[in-house]
Structure 1
Amino acid sequence: MSNQEDIRTTPPGWQLERTMTGHNGLISRVEWAPNGKMLASPSFDRTIKLWDLDTGECIHTLKGHDGRVWAVAWSPDSKLIASGSTDNTVRLWHTSTGELRHKFDVHGGTCLNMAWSPDSELIAAGGIGDNWSIIIGHVKTQKSQVLEGHTGQVNSVAWSPNGSILASVSHDTTVRLWSRDTLELKKILTGHDADVHSVNWAPDGNLLATASLDNTIRLWNPHTGQTIFILEGHTASVNCVEFSYDGKFLASKSSDGTVRLWRCDTWETVTILSEETFKSLPFGLAFHPTQPILATLGEADVAIRIWKLDEEALLNQSPANPSDLYRNAKVVLVGESGVGKSGLSLVLTNKQFRPTESTHGRYVWTFNRKELNLSDNRKELREILLWDLAGQPGYRLIHQLYLNELAVALIVCDARSETDPFAGVYYWNRALRQAEKLQGDSAPKLKKFLVTARADRGSVSVTPARINEVVEKLRLDGHFETSAKEGWNIKELAQAICEAVEWDNLPQVISTELFQRIKVFLIQEKQEERLLSQVDDLFRSFVKTLDDSNSKQTRQEFDTCIRLVESRDLIRRLSFGNLILLQPELLDAYASAIINAAKEQPEGLGCIAEEDVLAGKFRMPNAERIKDKQQEKLLLIATVEELFAREIALREQSDTGPLLVFPSQMTREWPEAPDPEGKAVILGFEGAIIGIYTTLTVRLSRSAFFKCKEMWKNAAIFEAQVGGECGIWLRHIGNVDEGKAELTLFFKPEASEQTRLQFEEYVYTHLKRRALPETIQRRRILVCTECGASVNESHVILRKKRGFDWINCSVCDVRISLLDGDSSLNSQRAEIPQIIKMDIAADKGREIETATSIIKGKEATNDFDVFLSHNSKDKPFVERIAELLRQRGLNPWLDKAEIPPGMSFQKYIINGIKQSKSAAVFISTNSLGDWQEQELLILNNRRVKKNLPIIPVLLPGLNVIPDEPDVLLFFSELNWINFNENVDELEPLEKLIQGIKGLY
């Protein structure tokens, strides 16, 4: 970009001091030295450059890394700098001389980010590793420790200003806070619904900012763990956030090609800087430590730009985007079927009471909506949404997924029932507790009320004392006896709901007026009870509501708002056909009907043919079915995708085609229950039992280390990859609804000690993630190694109480050590990184199964992600790439698959190009085919006129972009992807996928 262009596009209050160039590759980030005199820039060219602030000259170029350099961290005294690279090393350099001081090998991963503690003693490093851990390096001793807990790539780490807390963010969508003194986990902050890319502390340490792929910025109170503000405005992934030295401003950089400056007193956008960026790079923003100076990456991340900011002018100018303030609270109605929830939801939302059938699926109503005048002359919209969830057992697996971010829960029962007046109360209370646990420490306290409904129907079968006992035992916040028909206590209950919402503990959304207007439009479309709509049609309808001054707003804002409304589970963007499902509760109804149909399988195998599911051949009330068969077909494809994505079902091949198998719906009894041969460990726990058991069975089946061999009711046997069989058996404790259970782990004799250890640890880890943590108990069953007899559990407990560490076998009198249990397991636990590998394999298995459904949907809607232009001589290579793309849910247009025999090529090729969102042009030593030259001319025309993304690809054997034919000159300035050896290479394949998705 020329200086003239910079001046023309520079926002008021910004002054470009200088632009610094010199790298031969993309710059991955910029970091100021703590003394403010130097700036460091690591690069893909395998070097780190140190720049002088006063002159803008490069002082040193640090060379030595053999791979891309992603991370740097300055020592607090600015005398040393650490760097991390894809070459699996961390290097320590002298900044005065540029000489290497030390090299550390980082086994098992790439260091993507680092932070040096303020006391100079520790360096924290995160990135891609075998176990997604954070490595803490001790500078003086050169020893290291590992912080484990994240279940995805660690993207950013940052020490608090006083050095007492380390914050980390990850692909697993969480923010984690670690104690500096103990290096133990203090808090898990949840709220983002996609990868979290960046974390930064406010100068006073009382605020934490995070940036996410969900297009938002969240501001947290690190002491309570609660989200205070959510900033909306970016229209693509927010990759980086930085506070200014004085805490007056927050800067954010996004893949939408902008840098936004937010003022920290009102959280309004002050200015927006247009800055082209390489979309896959997360960082590229740094405030000077003591001056109003901001460093950014310009010219698509190959140059550094230094900006001087006029703070007074920035604070005095009007906001770049007028903001709207919004908070919403979620209230849920839960309880068994037939207790009166639907009638209550009607009258609570000011509708006329009418007798209703049992609720199927879920319904979302607006309970309360009001506008609040704030002291700074702004207004805040506060909205309470009421969710009515079906109570039938078949819906439990589904509806547990929506018990998130709740403010108030109403547990409804029928106290006049003569059989079981508190049916489901204990179950739903435990499900709510489980949901609170999964929300982490950052969630506000959930208020829960017991509501006895239908008080007009005769006398109560339980005494007030018994009701009060239940309220006290379950730690509920109150009880209401109601009648929806007569209106008894409805106003009082409604008032209690309003008073129970702790608005100050709910995040305040700072959004633009346009964003808020789009969101209101989408909600209104939903309330019109429309079913499926094309995004393009919705956008055109919205544009018609705008006046001329607003009609030029871009499509990106609209797409962003779809995602924001979707994050509240109010609408759903399907993964195919560019479709919006305005009534996503229909997915619940179809999913539950499919689950019930699987349970009715005559042999008790808990399965149903996928072909029957997609054809709608299962029992479901006609009143609940969609009348339009084409729309129902699309919805069924989306439902199957949902079942796989939520890890509720498995796909298994049979002689007649693929089956959907539901571990929770097996009804054939296991002959070895309740005392399986080879039982070794019993794990007691509480929580959403069926959901925990189902997801465990599915993930073990997809883990690659274990393959499911057989399943029964509440039992499954798995065959280890290295040989040997392991199994789980679920036993409910007490009433099924009480949410207490035990998992017995059993092993066949041929299972090795390492296999047993790995299986047990994976099950235990799963319970720690999904059950109530304080309820998990592990009891080991000791077995005599001489005769195989089990040792009496009560005898073991009594021996340990008396201080013994051994016991004699009651059969053969051999001495058995009592130390072989958990102590042995703990000593070996650090040696089983396979647990994380199992998680990776399970995630990949889920991705492949959902991709199959996504492809079915895209084929049904002629939705093509990429047009594959190639020479017919290269078809075997291209067909393999097409197969790999389908496994990732991307639908390629390939002539062999899309052109019927005997039909004209030209017509279908032109239509294929028009239907595709991008194009990949494959070049090999065979040069261009006859048809390919024509395709390239059409593609280039659409690239210019329709902004069609084109990705040129070199196939194995061709390492240099050819000069001829001339048509390739059109693509010479594009980023090329090179498959050096074979088309199964991971790195170029990932680049191709990113290019198709618009991320490369």
Structure 2
Amino acid sequence: MNRYPPDADYKNMSVAILPRAAEFRYLESSHDARSVAVSSTRGLYLVHLDKPDTYTTLKVPTSKGGLIAFGPEDDLLAHLAGRYLTVFPIREPDKPIFVNRIEGKYRYTALAVAGNANQPKFALGDTSGVVTLIDNGAFPLEESWSINGPVDTIALTQDQRFCLFSGRVAGEVAIWDITAGVGRSLSEVGSATVITLSGDGKQAISGTSSGTVYVHDVESRELLRTFEVHTAPIVELRVLNSKGAVLSRDETGTARIFSLQGRESPKSFDVTPNRNGRLLITPDASKMVLLVGEILGTYAFPELKSEIQATEYATKRLALVGDSGVGKSTLGWRIAHSEFKPQESTHGQQFWVIDKLSTVRPDGVEVSAVLWDFAGQPEYRLVHSLFLEDIDVALVLFDASRQEEVLAGVEYWIKHLRSDTGALPDAILVGSRSDRGLAAISKEEIETFCHDNGMKLGYVETSAATGAGIDKLLQKIENAIEQQPVQVTVSTEAFQEVKQRVIRLKSSADSAAKALVPVDQLVEIVNKERGKSVPKELLVAAVRALRNHGYLGVLADSSLTQYVLFSPDLMISLASSVILEARRNPKGLGALSESDILQGRIVFPEIAGMTREQQRILLDAVVLLFISRDLCFRESLGSETFLVFPALINQGISLAKRRDTDDFVTYRISGNVENVYSALVVLLGYTNTFKRAKHWRDNAEYELDSDQICGFRQIARASGVVDIVLSYAPPTSVSARLLFQGLVEEFLKRRNIMIERFPSVSCNACKYIQERSTVVRRMTERRTFINCEECGERSPLPSITIVELPGQIDGEVQVQQRVARGRSAYQSALVHVKSIARDRGLTKPTCFISYAWGQWDDDKWVHQLARDLEVADVAVILDVWNNSSAGASVPRFLERIDKSDFIIVVGSPAYRQKYENDVSEFGSIVAAEVDLINNRMTGRESNKSSVLPLLRSGTRQHSLPPLLQGRVTYDMTTEENYFPRLLDIVLTLFKLDFQDATVENLRERFRI
């Protein structure tokens, strides 16, 4: 590999000495590679690279090491520090175009510029995950929806139509169509670290923590090409001035220059990283700029030669779906192995690589096909709905030998396969078991069914037993694959060689014990077979690439040791077994003890032959899957924490508990509907909007206040279609109903479903609210009026509204949506915390929360804090829980406080006031609590460290007792700090060292 710069070239370095005693934050190059801007805590500096040993100091309102961005025409430089946006013309940088104060609730973390110096537009990303567009008057024009974490990088197209943004915590890339006011995340990108745009703004280029680079069409969001050219997280992406070329650099210093068309082998060079400095490569790849301390060095690049050979390949994903018992697995075996072999009903999923469908295209791209067999039983649909995206060809089976309900279940799978736009992937209707007799339906009827449901590839009748129709089916699949666009992956020969060896090892993993192998052990096996050493990072990158195509899984234990799961379908089968176990809950609650799962007290047949360590890794991964996908929520009962699956609750709402409610809006949802109800229950419960929630089978109720109650129910209709009906109990206010509706819509819009909205309709004459089902039926029939059921008067009907993709969100809906996403991320983090605690044998900590009870807002906030700690397996002592009953013993309660492992002090002005006994002539319980706290604070350091000051409002001086003011304080005065600091508190309660590599990694992943 080219190593750059070689030692001999250091003498050719041009150096600028910037002001000392400054912390340098950001380094950015102009698009024409003529200038570099540097921001620091002492100011902003502009270096012209034709004279790289000199610089110009630019005047900014505040020196906080602000964000910097050049305009696309290089005629302006924008600087954002604190709340101040300053814009400088490049030709006269000492004369700012304007300085504006930007209002906002959150700290800004990313900046992009479009337009020119006369009419610029700016995109500002913040810590809440929202992007705000502003003009040159600093007037907020629009706001995007939020991603789940701070925005790290932004790209804005020159025509100002599209905005791309991403964050390492969220791991997603969002494309916002500003003109249409809608947006969507790129599903393939799950660990984005940096993004940019192609020169024409038509392609989105994203780098990931796995070292993969993805290229998407901005407008269609279609994945165009994938580049497997790095083995470490990517930290820099730049589009070069040369046509269609991109430069990428990873955190190890390895850099690649490659064509977006993928026709040329990537050029490679290595830059030794300096963790104490900043480094960039100019867009024309002519210079490298390195900032270490106050020294800014500039080097000239030599002409690079390709030293690695590239290969191109693609994978086509085929899905075998249909109801249970129609012969999917037997047909799948026949397709894969060209022989008949009876198969038992699939539990979970299984897949085969279909060699006979693999081919090499005329342009040299190797195309392989993988066939996935999905179990058809209804109890597995909850899990399968997570994995039915990005299907290239679907084989929808029915049993052709049935005499009744021949096409039963087919409509469900067709609707389930449709995307949020209603589009169906290439699909073939397959009749199985034709050798057992003729179907009780004519081929004309079947062809009509295919036409009406958009199954353009038509119908094939097959028999796995005799082989009849198999060749015709394979030909249809092959024709479909040939006509589809191919999402090419550009890889290296070394990558490909390692991947092929791993695939061969996968085929020999014929037992449960061999299905999960540590990466280090896999390196030894591959090296032994290969006869020469494979770098571990190359093998890990190859394994991740195979994971992206569905061949393997990559898991980790609590100490971050990575494992390769040779059978990814094993985890899906295990997840299905957990669902079945929750369904067996004797009280019909759809719940399981989390500790029973994680401690292995429930026996699951899929992992029976594995070691205890392997079982724990897979169980941790399954629980994380459920929580991160919002399929379940945690509920504490006494000392036990349960995972509750809303979709599995069998308890119906009794007449005694049923409220008189009015329906006010109906959503008809089609597509991937299996997890819609679960996700709504989980995400609504994660907000801070509701005092309490109640759940029954297909019903949920939420109390905003004692007389402010909203709810929703799910009504199953045809296969793949459900109605979500919102209701309220009078006298719930209009504002409460609109907040509830706004939250429901925002959570629905983020799912891959089609949503139609039907409002309630009242008579214009007598105001009688019309029957919901009648309104929905007539609107669906495109009727324009309805006759009142009460007085007979005719009233107009509105048109059906298609609920669009996420766009601008206002007010409290946006706040609570952000809270729900933060709590969801926190719940996912707890899986890792509990795994660490279990594997290290840590005991459940006890914690007392001291606060100024009696303040409504503070009480509500503290009670939520206590619940959030309880689901982390912390035993919480709280006055209203442990000392609120009449006749309770205060001395005994104070004794419990004294024996607790930790005390959390919730600082606020009211707390300080009660501490000083100024609120009652008899003193306060808070003062007695603080006496116990002071005893710890005047003891040994181990005692002092058991008191955790938390700032809820105000300042340290005005909210905390004197002895606590000098301690490290958890600042939770802002909403954006709540979940990161909450995770810190949990880690502290379990006495986990922040310097521990495992803990450090966990905090970094959640950007603590």
Counterpart position of 2:188: 191
Counterpart position of 1:287: 282
2:472 alignment partner AA: E
Counterpart position of 2:450: 471
Contact persistence 1:220–1:226 (CA under 8 A): yes
Residue 304 of structure 1 deviates from its aligned partner by 4.2
Once residues 416 and 310 of structure 2 are traced to their aligned partners in structure 1, the CA distance between those partners, rounded to angstroms, is: 37
Deviations 1:465-511 (A, max 9, x none): 22112211211121110001100111221122122115762222112
1:453 alignment partner AA: S
- Which of 569, 580, 584 does residue 596 from structure 1 map onto? 580
Once residues 827 and 753 of structure 2 are traced to their aligned partners in structure 1, the CA distance between those partners, rounded to angstroms, is: 29
Residue 625 of structure 1 deviates from its aligned partner by 4.6
When the two structures are superposed, what TM-score results if normalisation uses the length of structure 1? 0.76
CA 1:607 to 1:222, structure 2 compared with 1: closer, same or farther past 3 Å?
closer
Once residues 26 and 40 of structure 1 are traced to their aligned partners in structure 2, the CA distance between those partners, rounded to angstroms, is: 14
- 1:745 aligned counterpart, secondary structure: strand
Counterpart position of 2:368: 383
When the two structures are superposed, what TM-score results if normalisation uses the length of structure 2? 0.75
Residue 654 of structure 1 deviates from its aligned partner by 2.0
CA 1:460 to 1:723, structure 2 compared with 1: closer, same or farther past 3 Å?
same
- Which of 192, 209, 221 does residue 205 from structure 2 map onto? 209
Contact persistence 2:588–2:649 (CA under 8 A): yes
- Which of 453, 469, 478 does residue 498 from structure 1 map onto? 478
Asked if 1:507 is matched to 2:487, the reply is yes
Residue 699 of structure 1 deviates from its aligned partner by 1.1
Sequence identity (%): 21
Deviations 1:447-471 (A, max 9, x none): 1111111111122121112211221
Once residues 636 and 271 of structure 2 are traced to their aligned partners in structure 1, the CA distance between those partners, rounded to angstroms, is: 52
Contact persistence 1:666–1:713 (CA under 8 A): yes
- Which of 435, 443, 459 does residue 456 from structure 1 map onto? 435
Once residues 467 and 801 of structure 2 are traced to their aligned partners in structure 1, the CA distance between those partners, rounded to angstroms, is: 58
Deviations 1:763-821 (A, max 9, x none): 11222222533x4123135599x99963566799999x9x999999969x9xx9999x9
- 1:706 aligned counterpart, secondary structure: coil
CA RMSD, 1 decimal: 4.7
- 1:709 aligned counterpart, secondary structure: strand
- 2:440 aligned counterpart, secondary structure: coil
Contact persistence 1:607–1:660 (CA under 8 A): yes
Deviations 1:10-57 (A, max 9, x none): 79xx975556654755544444446765322223x2522111222221
CA 1:418 to 1:615, structure 2 compared with 1: closer, same or farther past 3 Å?
farther
How many residues are paired up? Answer: 861
Once residues 98 and 562 of structure 1 are traced to their aligned partners in structure 2, the CA distance between those partners, rounded to angstroms, is: 52
Contact persistence 1:126–1:155 (CA under 8 A): no
Contact persistence 2:194–2:206 (CA under 8 A): yes
Counterpart position of 1:58: 55
Once residues 551 and 709 of structure 2 are traced to their aligned partners in structure 1, the CA distance between those partners, rounded to angstroms, is: 44
Counterpart position of 2:130: 132
Asked if 1:857 is matched to 2:835, the reply is yes
1:143-542 equivalences in 2 (<5 Å): 143-152=139-148, 153-160=150-157, 163=159, 165-171=161-167, 172=170, 175=173, 182=179, 184-185=181-182, 189-202=186-199, 204-205=200-201, 207-222=203-218, 224-247=220-243, 249-263=245-259, 266-278=263-275, 285=280, 287=282, 293-299=286-292, 304-310=296-302, 313-314=303-304, 317=305, 319-368=306-355, 379-434=364-419, 446-476=425-455, 477-502=457-482, 505-529=485-509, 530-542=514-526
Contact persistence 1:626–1:632 (CA under 8 A): no
- 1:763 aligned counterpart, secondary structure: helix
2:154 alignment partner AA: V
Counterpart position of 1:834: 812
Residue 752 of structure 1 deviates from its aligned partner by 3.6
- Which of 677, 681, 684 does residue 661 from structure 2 map onto? 677
1:698-847 equivalences in 2 (<5 Å): 698-706=682-690, 709-720=693-704, 724-733=708-717, 735=718, 737=719, 739-749=720-730, 751-770=732-751, 772-773=753-754, 775-780=755-760, 782=762, 790-791=769-770, 832-847=810-825
Once residues 122 and 483 of structure 1 are traced to their aligned partners in structure 2, the CA distance between those partners, rounded to angstroms, is: 65
- Which of 530, 549, 556 does residue 568 from structure 1 map onto? 549
Contact persistence 1:678–1:748 (CA under 8 A): yes
Deviations 1:618-642 (A, max 9, x none): 686x588546566445433432232
Residue 168 of structure 1 deviates from its aligned partner by 0.9
Counterpart position of 1:73: 70
Range with greater deviation from structure 2 (986-995 or 662-671): 986-995
Once residues 783 and 641 of structure 1 are traced to their aligned partners in structure 2, the CA distance between those partners, rounded to angstroms, is: 49
Deviations 1:179-237 (A, max 9, x none): 67x364487644212235221223x5554422233421122344654322211222222
CA 1:478 to 1:50, structure 2 compared with 1: closer, same or farther past 3 Å?
same
Residue 146 of structure 1 deviates from its aligned partner by 1.0
Contact persistence 1:589–1:624 (CA under 8 A): no
- Which of 621, 643, 649 does residue 638 from structure 1 map onto? 621
Deviations 1:721-777 (A, max 9, x none): 7973221111122x3x2x22211111233544332211111111222222533x412
Once residues 680 and 606 of structure 1 are traced to their aligned partners in structure 2, the CA distance between those partners, rounded to angstroms, is: 29
Once residues 731 and 830 of structure 1 are traced to their aligned partners in structure 2, the CA distance between those partners, rounded to angstroms, is: 29
Once residues 982 and 271 of structure 1 are traced to their aligned partners in structure 2, the CA distance between those partners, rounded to angstroms, is: 47
Once residues 420 and 506 of structure 2 are traced to their aligned partners in structure 1, the CA distance between those partners, rounded to angstroms, is: 27
1:124 alignment partner AA: F
Asked if 1:107 is matched to 2:92, the reply is no
1:493 alignment partner AA: L
Contact persistence 1:294–1:306 (CA under 8 A): yes
Once residues 483 and 153 of structure 2 are traced to their aligned partners in structure 1, the CA distance between those partners, rounded to angstroms, is: 31
Once residues 784 and 321 of structure 2 are traced to their aligned partners in structure 1, the CA distance between those partners, rounded to angstroms, is: 50
Range with greater deviation from structure 2 (352-361 or 235-244): 235-244
- 1:501 aligned counterpart, secondary structure: helix
- Which of 669, 691, 701 does residue 675 from structure 2 map onto? 691
Residue 422 of structure 1 deviates from its aligned partner by 1.4
Alignment gaps of 5+ in structure 1: 865-882, 891-924, 931-954, 958-977
Contact persistence 1:702–1:846 (CA under 8 A): yes
Contact persistence 1:132–1:148 (CA under 8 A): yes
1:112 alignment partner AA: A
Counterpart position of 2:650: 667
Deviations 1:349-380 (A, max 9, x none): 1253211110111112111278867888xx54
Counterpart position of 1:40: 37
- 1:846 aligned counterpart, secondary structure: helix
Range with greater deviation from structure 2 (597-606 or 338-347): 597-606
Contact persistence 2:58–2:93 (CA under 8 A): no
Range with greater deviation from structure 2 (256-265 or 350-359): 256-265
Contact persistence 2:315–2:549 (CA under 8 A): no
Once residues 454 and 393 of structure 1 are traced to their aligned partners in structure 2, the CA distance between those partners, rounded to angstroms, is: 22
- 1:402 aligned counterpart, secondary structure: coil
- 2:626 aligned counterpart, secondary structure: helix
- Which of 637, 642, 657 does residue 654 from structure 1 map onto? 637
Once residues 127 and 616 of structure 2 are traced to their aligned partners in structure 1, the CA distance between those partners, rounded to angstroms, is: 41
- 1:383 aligned counterpart, secondary structure: strand
Counterpart position of 1:940: none
Range with greater deviation from structure 2 (346-355 or 497-506): 497-506
Once residues 132 and 610 of structure 1 are traced to their aligned partners in structure 2, the CA distance between those partners, rounded to angstroms, is: 34
Contact persistence 1:604–1:667 (CA under 8 A): yes
Range with greater deviation from structure 2 (469-478 or 365-374): 365-374
